[in-house]
Amino acid sequence: MKLIKSLFRVLDKILSVLTIAFFTALILIVLLQILTRFTPLSFVWTEELTRYFFLYAIAASAGLAVVRNEYMGIDFILELFSDKWKAIYLRGTYIVIIGMNLVISYYAYEFVLLGQGQMTSTLGFHMGYIHLSIFLMSFFIMIFYIEKLLSKDVDLK
């Protein structure tokens, strides 16, 4: 179990670094767009690349939001439950979210395959790489909810 926890912490660190890198790249490209408005230079690829960095920043940070409990929830309802019922409620919620993300992952994978035959308009990437962000987002959310489901926070005392 300690090995699994350490693997999740490593993944947490990797996703944190990737989120920072994607947002930093996004900000730098937007700054480049702004600066080139005052010059005769024009980069048509910047708008497209900012969209892709934004998608991947969301994909990397979605799982981190699970780890840090930053998704919106209705906490005052949980306070009404005893510890046992709170654990049952949380386990049920996590199972539903994991199931939903399994479905999303399946269709996102099909979307990735669909995008392999298409190219982006200015950069020439396969759209499958762009569609992969949806799969990664649902995958990271799912595995971090699996970690929460297995954690001691939801033990049925």
- For the chain, the domains span 2-154
pLDDT value at residue 154: 59
Paired strand residues for 119 = 126
Q: What pairs with residue 126 in β-bridges?
A: 119
Q: Which of 45, 43, 28, 21 is nearest to 120 (CA)?
A: 45
Q: Can you give the pLDDT of all 157 residues of the chain as single tens digits? A: 688 888 999 999 999 999 999 999 999 999 999 999 888 888 889 999 999 999 999 999 999 999 998 888 777 888 888 888 888 888 999 999 999 999 999 999 999 999 888 998 888 889 999 999 999 999 999 999 999 998 866 555 5
Kindly report the pTM of this predicted structure: 0.86
Whole-angstrom distance, CA of residue 108 vs CA of residue 134: 6
Q: How far apart are CA 62 and CA 133, in angstroms?
A: 11
* Rounded alpha-carbon distances, angstroms, from residue 44 to 36, 40, 130, 139: 11, 13, 18, 32
